[in-house]
A and B are shown apart, each in its own frame.
Chain A
Amino acid sequence: MSTSGPRRSGPRRSGPGISAGDRRRHTTVVVIGAGHAGLAMSRCLTERSIDHVLLERGAVANSWRTERWDSLRLLTPNWQTRLPGHRYRGHDPDGYMTVPQVVDFLDTYAAAVDAPVETNTAVRSVRRHSDGFVVGTSEGDWRCRSVVVASGACNRAAVPDAAARLPGDIVSLTPLEYRRPDQLPDGGVLVAGGSATGIQLADEIHRSGRPVTLAVGGHVRVPRTYRGHDIMSWLDAVGILGERYDEVDDPERVRRLPSFQLVGSPERTTIDLNSLRALGVRVVGRVAGIADGTMQFSGSLRNQCALADLKLRRLLDTIDEWVDGCWLDGVPPPPPRPTPTVVDDDPLLTLRLGSGEIRSVIWATGYRPDLSWLHLPVFDRASRLRHDGGITDVPGLYLLGLPFLRRRKSTLIDGAGDDARELSAHLAATLAGASATHWTARGA
């Protein structure tokens, strides 16, 4: 592996008069994306003296700068906002960072680890080339021996097919476009999706005076705090966040789970279907389809709520058993179990879209990575990424920063550190192995 090569920091400066096609540059590892995952990998590669570059379509923390709604805060407490060699050191370890604070945190980290970021460089293609890769970008090609894809898990909003049958006079938005309630027309809003995004948007939009109907399928109900501590602290303490992908029966199932129903707020509020219902939000089943101008909702709402309540009780039991087993002092006794989710006796099953009641729809129905530029055989028949804890079938190609990549916490900023450390070790061994093979081949 090479330790030479210029170190770049901050925006790329290129000489005038050089066309994009002429700029063919080399490095050992190209990391695609300079968000928390890419930066964590950069730090791990620097520690191993592996020459690399981070290609970033915009600036560091680009999706945080451009694709988040105004009120969003991290779902994890500040103490948990940590990356290799860097952590939150402010006076509010139990608070939740706002989006500008996350951007600051990552900017500071990029500078602290001296990450060689090429900004405003959009990756257009990744292809194999001899024993490495060629990464085509808006600013020319890069040749490298290894590629780490850290371009994010939430580049695209996953929208159901039914969205295409929405009448044209109803505003249709994804959470990537939504910023604040006053962006929406007055009148009723249908929020589809009961994960963190869906419940947060339902809450703030309903409070803005626009009556919300919330369509909910499978969801994960958790309280913000339990027995005096943040739920994330408990998940960390009892070992759930550290649970590895090779320790569960079906990691693909876990990867598809919706995010926890959580909001990061200074008041440490819990938002769940009961709190939304009390606010006046109308809760209905998952959007099952749109036919003849009528939106249909699944009749499975009662069971989805029963499943979430049962899982919640199992989680709290797990925490209680852990506390009992540790003889922890100073932990308040368990409070009564949360009230089971109240479901209307007769939840709405159909809604005529032409009635004018619903003026806008927000599809908070999940996110997907956008890897349309990755021209390598790493996708299964359903176009899902095939990988073993971030290690793909293509030697030298790695994935980072995806849900449950190697651990439950992989989806969090706090998960990037362990994953980057392990994958950079694998990457270094692969590079060393490849070099050794070359050496033997040449020697023979």
Chain B
Amino acid sequence: MLELCSLSRSFADVRAVDAVSLSVAPGEFVGVIGRSGAGKSTLLRLINRLVEPTGGEIRFDGETVSGLRGRSLRDWRRRSAMIFQQFNLIDRLSVLDNVLVGRAASLPRWRSWTMAWPPADRAVAIEALDRLGIADLALKRADQLSGGQQQRVAIARALVQNPQLILADEPVASLDPHSTKLVMDSLARINREDGLTVLVNLHHLELAREYCRRVVGVAAGRVVFDGAIDDLDAEAIRTIYGAAPQ
């Protein structure tokens, strides 16, 4: 159970995330929707602790994760895997090595330094790539893959972190429709088969309608809607997106 209690973050005098309270049950697939600049991205980064909150609390299974430091902070990051709009892979590493970056936090440090990964971990990585249908590309350089393939590599990296939560920040915003479907289907399958909680930022309402049962609407850093996708009526859409619905 992920709980956010009046979580806030200000940049200078802009309140990017403003007193957000939210709770997500294990195994949920939650879409976070809103206009660009509404604070969706900062919200996800706050949860992974890439961004420090200026107020409020984050709890996971009763543990306060917003105050974690050092080793326990890194372990929390491992448990709350991030997926980014621009994939954030290392271009010059192989696909397999990129996925194994997700294992780095669970292995002794000299393994990262020599990049001599144990076969057991390499097998886990290739298995994850196999699930996402791109195991054949394992030895290619990451920058030789298409955008959709790169995003699936990023999902595999998230999977091998052995996370309890997946935070996907606009995972399909840079992809073509075909890749979009592949990536969203993968996220849905992971949620279904592994029972992983997924929080996904989406710009487009249609995708939220297709994949999410629960949506959270964000506008100007505040949660303005939280409910089942079927309850998202025209009025709610107007509150989330402003005067002109997208």
Do A and B interact?
no
